[in-house]
Amino acid sequence: MTAPFDFTSSTASPMKTDIAIIGAGPGGYATALRAAELGLSVMLIERDSRVGGTCLLRGCIPSKALITASRTVDAVHDGARMGIDAQLTSIDATALGAYRQHAVDTETNGLAGLLAARHITLVHGTAGLAPDGTVTVTPAPHESQVRVGASLDTLEDAGDAVSIDATDVVLATGGRPRALPGMPFGGRVLDSTAALELGTLPQRAIIVGAGSVALEFASMWRAMGADVTLLVRHDTPLSHAHRRSAVVLTRELKRRGITIVNHAHVTAANQTSDGMNVTVTIDDNVGGTARTTSIDGDYLLVAIGRDPNTAWIGQAGIELDDAGLVVTDEHGRTNRPHVWAVGDITPGKQLAHRAFEQGIVVAESIAGMNPTAVDERTVPSVVFTTPEFASVGRTTDEAMQLDGCLEVRETIYPVMGNARMVMEQAGGSLSIVTGRLPGMPDRTVVLGVHIVAPLASELIGQAEQLIGNSIALDAAARLIQPHPTFSEMLGEALLKADGRPLNTR
């Protein structure tokens, strides 16, 4: 093991370490924490002034804080149905912003404490990778010095360039929001970061996109009282997800007052003194004569995906695919020896929890262990709308296309047979895909679970365990679910799939 760099000494050059990690988001910090746990010296390099990356600073944590607040609004409005006379008098946008920031501060400070406790050296600056594998760090934007320290509280100036000699380098540079062609972000054209940091709540919001970010903002802003128009390119949001679940979620979002326009393409967006005017082409007949309309709103949120931060990585001789993503093997190795990649810059689902596991796999691989590679089929997807959407594993079509997969069947559970769903008066759906996998022809297993329901995010972890461990369907169906809970839906669906339904036909 290489000794940790003595950042108090100005004579140490270059800095030596076992692992240099570029990017302190979920993939980067998970790699750092696990590697340090295994006794390796680690340097974690980050351009931002705080650790955590998009997830903690500008994504998962602040957005879910606001979504939590919006559900309190929903609960107030729903009280009358249960005989509770509650009224919502106002929403204090300033206090709401402070609540969001408190959630971010709590998580990022906790992470910073973990990194310090594991003796991980932090380097604040912009990293580059030289042909010989040396990592060169220059000052972060708006800084004049690279700063190095054992914690965020003890960073010290280290000059206008720092060289790091690492045995292994891990790339974890994440991504950035994608803009509409010819329509850069700015003013009232928002990316997700700007939308989270608005000092006021929109009264009329126009959102372009059909994925989790677009749907979560649509659901949250609608709960907060905004008129929301969602512009979708295809015939439904989540067009690549489980079809039945996507259709049911679309129905529920419309039922909550969100206007969803399918087959819509933004052709122009003009900022006015107090809002946006957006020109939209709508192809109702898909290939027929399209019609053009204009929509007015306070803001235009563009949430059409994210692009990887890999331009400089490709210039460093790392192989990229056509989408600009880093090509790796299943354990994260790139085409250059001792250079690895994790997170949103690699092909696959751009999700924090996937990046966590990738980081663990890479750290253990570097340490000489033989970890099991990330199983992409067991990476759950969650959309924190109201109701929530959660999915893991294969759809029926995907299972049927798998060579050697036999007896594929989809079981649909009638969710209003669940007592908690009745109490909540929540629409939803639950589908289980089962079949016999190649190499295991003697037993039926769960291949996929797709849920639209309150707390679907909390149910999907149980489904992931069944799929990831290839639990036989009859054994899974015998697991006892507490009563009365939403989780009983999964238990009842498993019983139905096993041919012995109890409370359904």
CATH of the domain at 447: 3.30.390.30
4, part of any domain = no
State yes or no: 63 annotated in a binding site: no
Query: Please, which pLDDT band fits residue 4 given cuts at 50, 70 and 90?
Result: very low
d(CA 347, CA 350): 8
**Residue 363: closest CA among 11, 19, 5, 77:** 19
363 is in an annotated binding site: no
Q: Are residues 233 and 353 in the same domain?
A: no
Q: Does any domain span residue 380?
A: no
Q: Which of 211, 217, 210 is nearest to 193 (CA)?
A: 217
Backbone angles phi, psi at 294, to 5 degrees: -125, 150
Contact in structure between 340 and 170 (CB atoms under 8 Å): yes
**Average model confidence (pLDDT) across the chain:** 94
Same domain, 167 and 26: yes
pLDDT at res. 2: 43
239 is in an annotated binding site: no
Residues 294 and 321 in one domain: no
Q: Is residue 348 situated within a structural domain?
A: yes
Residue 254 has pLDDT above 70, yes or no: yes
Q: Cα-flanking dihedrals φ and ψ of residue 413, to 5°?
A: -100, 130
475 is in an annotated binding site: no
Q: Can you give the residue range of the structural domain that contains 436?
A: 387-498
* Spatial distance between the Cα atoms of 350 and 334, rounded to a whole number of angstroms: 18
Considering the domain architecture, whether residues 141 and 280 belong to the same structural domain is answered as no
**pLDDT, tens digit, 9 for 90 and up, residues 439-479:** 888 999 999 999 999 999 999 999 999 999 999 999 999 99
Does 23 belong to an annotated binding site? no
Same domain, 24 and 169: yes
Q: Is 209 annotated as a binding residue?
A: yes
* Partners of 170 in beta bridges: 21, 340
**pLDDT at residue 155, as a whole number:** 95
Cα angle value 368/127/121 (rounded, 5°) = 60
* Res 7 pLDDT > 60: no
Looking at the domain assignment, is residue 504 inside a domain? no
State the Cα torsion 207-210-214-220 to the nearest 10°.
Answer: 100
Residue 437 lies in a domain: yes
Same domain, yes or no: 190 and 111? no
Structure tokens at 232: 């979708």
Read off the pLDDT of residues 262-272 as tens digits, 9 standing for 90 and up: 999 999 999 98
pLDDT of residue 13: 67
The H or E element containing residue 251 is helix 243-255
Q: Which entry of 102, 119, 240, 483 is annotated as an active-site residue?
A: 483
Same domain, 136 and 264: no
Kindly state whether residues 396 and 489 are assigned to the same domain.
Answer: yes
> Looking at the structure, do residues 189 and 154 belong to the same domain, yes or no?
no
Query: Which of 272, 304, 336 is a domain's end point?
Result: 304
User: Same structural domain for residues 395 and 483?
Assistant: yes
Per-residue confidence (pLDDT) for residue 326, from 0 to 100: 98
295 shares a domain with 206: yes
> Helix, strand, or coil here: 143?
coil
pLDDT at 290: 84
Domain count, the chain: 3
Buried b (16+ CB within 10 A) or exposed e, 388-399: bbbbbbbbbebb
CA distance 209 to 240: 13
Domain membership flag for residue 1: no
pLDDT in tens, 289-324: 789 999 999 999 999 999 999 999 988 999 999 999
CATH number, domain of 197, equals: 3.50.50.60
Known binding residue 344? Answer is yes
Same domain, 275 and 391: no
* pLDDT beyond 80 at 10: no
The average pLDDT across 244-255 equals 97
pLDDT band at 287 (very low <50, low <70, confident <90, very high): low
Q: Are 3 and 334 in contact (CB under 8 A)?
A: no
Alpha carbon 137 to chain centroid, angstroms: 28
Q: Is 210 part of any known ligand binding site? A: yes
**Residue of 479, 478, 488, 498 lying closest to 453 (CA atoms):** 488
Q: To the nearest whole percent, how much of the chain has pLDDT over 70?
A: 97
450 tagged catalytic = no
